[in-house]
Amino acid sequence: MTEAAEPAPEKKPRSWKRWAIEIGVVALIFFGVRAYQTRDAASGPAPALSATTITGEPVSLEGLDEPVLVHFWATWCGVCEAEEGNIDSVAEGHRVISVATRSGRPQQVSAYMAQHGLDFPVVNDPGAVLSHQWGVEAFPTSFVVDPDGRIRHVEVGYTTTLGLRSRLFLAGF
CB 130 within 8 A of CB 46: no
As for how many domains the chain has, the answer is 1
Q: How far is the C-alpha of 16 from the C-alpha of 50, rounded, in Å? A: 53
CATH number at residue 136: 3.40.30.10
Map residue 105 onto helix, strand or coil. Answer: coil
CB atoms within 10 A of CB 50: 10
pLDDT of residue 93: 93
Q: How far is the C-alpha of 82 from the C-alpha of 63, rounded, in Å? A: 32
- Whether 7 is in a domain gets the answer no
pLDDT digits 0-9 by tens, 70-98:
999 999 999 999 999 999 999 999 999 99
- Whether 65 is in a domain gets the answer yes
- Whether 18 is in a domain gets the answer no
pLDDT of residue 35: 78
Phi-psi region of 21 (alpha: psi -120 to 50; beta: other; left: phi over 0): alpha
pLDDT of residue 7: 72
pLDDT of residue 2: 58
pLDDT of residue 125: 97
- Whether 157 is in a domain gets the answer yes
- Whether 149 is in a domain gets the answer yes
- Whether 150 is in a domain gets the answer yes
Backbone φ and ψ for 120, nearest 5 degrees, come out as -80, 155
pLDDT of residue 56: 96
- Whether 122 is in a domain gets the answer yes
Domain that holds residue 89: 44-171
* One-letter amino acid for residue 130 of the chain: L
- Whether 96 is in a domain gets the answer yes
pLDDT tens sequence for the chain (173 residues): 556 677 767 776 778 888 899 999 998 888 888 777 778 888 899 999 999 999 999 999 998 899 999 999 999 999 999 999 999 999 999 999 999 999 999 999 999 999 999 999 999 999 999 999 999 999 999 999 999 999 999 999 999 999 999 999 999 98
Rounded CA Rg of the chain: 22
- Residue in 67, 65, 64, 75 with CA at minimum distance from that of residue 99: 75
